Amino acid sequence: MKKLILMVIVSTFILWFGFADLSKADNTVGTEIGNIAPDFEIQTISGETIKLKDLSGKRVMLNFWASWCPPCRVEMPDMQKLHENEDIIVLAVNLTDSEMSQKDVTSFVNEFGLTFPIGLDKSGQISKLYKINPIPTTFMIDSDGKIRFKLFGAMSYKMMTEELEKMD
């Protein structure tokens, strides 16, 4: 009987500490799948200020790009289509510190008719925070603020919607 009680106590401690560690891992802020996406504040091309934490409760497609990047040009029409047709916030962070001028960004946005928020990472701090290299890089963030998908390279509309469905 003493052995049984001891086994129950030991098992309880193992389970307790095991689950405590799991709950800590769930709240880790970082850029890996399963991490809480690092918060940031960014000014958009239209002058609006967006904080990632203010988008809590909503699904977010966070994309890092530049106007001179050929794969970025390829995926932008699909990102616009996703923005228009799906229940997700598309936030495209431009690596403004890598652009010749902000006019290049404005021309790009106008050329593609982009209506989703375009953040301007003028100092490069947000791209450093998210360890961006190469571009485009995309993170799909669920309504709890957790990264559920990460991709280096261009995405098609089909890929975007497939990853979005996985977050339901």
pLDDT tens, residue by residue, 99-118: 999 999 999 999 999 999 99
Provide the sign of the torsion angle of the four alpha carbons 106, 96, 62, 42, taken in this order: negative
131 with 161, same domain: the answer is: yes
35 with 24, same domain: the answer is: no
Q: What is the pLDDT of residues 49-97, one digit of tens each?
A: 999 999 999 999 999 999 999 999 999 999 999 999 999 999 999 999 9
75 with 12, same domain: the answer is: no
67 with 133, same domain: the answer is: yes
Q: Helix H segments across 28-101?
A: 70-85
Tokens linked to 81: 């289509």
Domain region containing 141: 31-166
Q: What's the total number of domains in the chain?
A: 2
